[in-house]
Amino acid sequence: MKIREADINDKNRWDSFVDSEDGDFHLYFDWKQFYESRGDSFIPLMIESDSSQLLGIFVVVKQKKSFYSILESIPEGGGDFLIKNDLSDLEKHDIVCAFIKYVDLNYSQGCACLLIRERLAHFDKRYEVPAKARIDSGLVYRYNAVTGLPCTHILEAKKPFEEKHWNILPRQLKQKINKAVRSGITVIHDKELKYRDEFIVMLAENYKRHQNKRFINDETKIRIKTFKEKTRLYIALQNGQPIAGLLCQYTPLTCFLMKICSYTRNNGNAEQLCLKVAIEDACDNGYKHVDFGISTEENTKFYKERFKPTTVPVGTYEKTYSMFKYRLYQASMLRDIMRKDKLYLWNNRAKIAKIIFGVTFKKNI
């Protein structure tokens, strides 16, 4: 076997492998444009047999921070190793170990750590062997079993939609969706992407409401333009005006519910109606799964679980290259958490001090 970094000449072969092996949407080669627009490095690795047969692919993104860099597998999605399914468990194990060793030797210099998000190991038994191989390669598994976060939600798309999905939804959710229809809200499939700019404005408003300062306008334009043939935009209209929207992107078997947004918090249940229409279309068009994406907050998790998907834990495998830089990485993560939860630092002061400084605070008796 031999490993190399793929280039633009490998794009068609790479994308065909993603399609044939039911890979994650975020593994497509054109994500290279997206990450490089952020200033990150997109590193697509492929492993081939001695006869040049493609056996597996793996993507790591080198994210440049203020004082350090980290290597992370597909920050935007849930995919990491994609290996030819008809290989033996031993072959899959050896491929994953070879990938990790190659990354350690060629890309770890100057980096704080390697982070690999598990790819639905609890949902798809094909990924149990790669999970073991990560441990054998020196990575440590992290997951918060108390909160159950992060997690992803996968809905098996079945026909007929009315019987298999609509009838089993919570009564309150169905009432809200029906109320949206009665109020005159309609959802259209915007095939020509005429409402693209309005959708981006709504998305920016959503980010502001959640105190997220990330500027996503250009990123969203790149995402839609790059994957135009794999993109559907669902727009909720009231009195002919857009009030909510849903961006979906597709592999041959899976509908990914990427971004949902609205101008205001009070949107007459338009967002739920958008989701209902997109899921129904996925069922009618023969897709196997609907992927709700990764949830990192309880509110988001609750919002998605009302549609009765399977909740799948998503842990992270970590390998530290520089302890000093890794501490800086942890500090930056804590800063992001504190922005959302002002009491987090105080409530977890003893644990944080032990992690960062190696000391233990005694509680007053």
Q: 33 and 121 share a domain?
A: yes
DSSP string, 325-351: HHHHHHHHHHHHHHHH-TTHHHHTHHH
User: Per the domain annotation, does 136 fall within a domain?
Assistant: yes
The structure tokens listed for 101 are: 């060793």
pLDDT tops 70 at residue 364: no
Same domain, 278 and 346: no
- Rounded distance between C-alpha atoms, residue 36 and residue 234, angstroms: 28
Asked if residue 330 is part of any domain, the answer here is: no
Q: Look at the block and give the residue holding tokens 């995402």.
A: 223
240 in the same domain as 166: yes
* Co-location of 100 and 203 in the same domain: no
Mean pLDDT (the chain) is 88
State the pLDDT at residue 58: 96
Whole-number pLDDT of residue 123: 64
pLDDT confidence band for 360 (50 / 70 / 90): very low
Rounded-to-integer distance, Cα 143 and Cα 215, Å = 29
| pLDDT recorded at residue 338 | 56
Q: Are residues 172 and 137 in the same domain?
A: no
73 & 109 share domain: yes
Asked whether residue 38 carries a pLDDT value surpassing 80, the answer given is: yes
Same-domain check for residues 196 and 265 = yes
- pLDDT higher than 50, residue 128: yes
Domain assignment of residue 56, yes or no: yes
Tell me the CATH number at 6.
3.40.630.30
The residue that leads in pLDDT, 350 or 147, is 147
Specify which of 123-127, 218-222, 353-357 reaches the highest per-range mean pLDDT.
218-222
Cβ contacts of 31 within 8 Å, gap of 6 or more? 42, 59, 76, 226
pLDDT in tens, 149-189: 889 999 999 999 999 999 999 999 999 999 999 999 999 99
Same domain membership, residue 124 and residue 21: yes
Which pLDDT tens digit goes with each residue over 281-338?
999 999 999 999 999 889 899 999 999 999 988 889 999 998 877 777 777 666 655 5
**Rounded to the nearest 10 degrees, what angle do helices 323-340 and 349-357 cross at?**
160
CB 99 within 8 A of CB 81: yes
232 assigned to some structural domain: yes
Q: What is the pLDDT of residue 18?
A: 95
Tokens of 242: 């857009």
pTM recorded for the entire structure: 0.87
Chain centre to alpha carbon of residue 354 = 31
Out of 69-73, 119-123, 159-163, which region has the weakest mean confidence (pLDDT)?
119-123
Domain that holds residue 346: 335-365
H/E element holding 255? strand 254-262
pLDDT in the model for residue 272: 96
Give 96-109 pLDDT, tens digit per residue.
999 999 999 999 99
Give the tens place of pLDDT for each residue, 231-258. Answer: 999 999 999 999 999 999 999 999 999 9
For 289, the token pair is 């799964």
Looking at the structure, do residues 139 and 201 belong to the same domain, yes or no?
no
Asked if 227 and 273 sit in the same domain, the reply is yes
Strand order in the sheet with 231-238: 186-189, 231-238, 241-250, 254-262, 289-295, 151-156, 310-313
* Co-location of 125 and 15 in the same domain: yes
CA–CA distance, 156 with 41 (Å, rounded to integer)? 34
The reply to whether 280 falls in a domain is yes
Q: Is the confidence at residue 57, as pLDDT, over 50?
A: yes
Q: Is residue 327 part of a domain?
A: no
**Residue 125 and residue 241 in one domain:** no
Question: Six-digit token pair at 344?
Answer: 């987090």
pLDDT score for 325 = 78
Q: What is the pLDDT of residue 100?
A: 97
Q: Which of 59-68, 262-271, 296-305, 308-317 bottoms out in mean pLDDT, i.e. has the lowest?
A: 59-68
The answer to the question of residue 329 being in a domain is no
Is there a domain that residue 246 lies in?
A: yes
- Give how far Cα 164 sits from Cα of 15, 161, 168, Å: 32, 5, 7
Number of domains into which the chain is organized: 3
Structure confidence at residue 60 (pLDDT): 95
The answer on pLDDT for 84 being more than 90 is yes
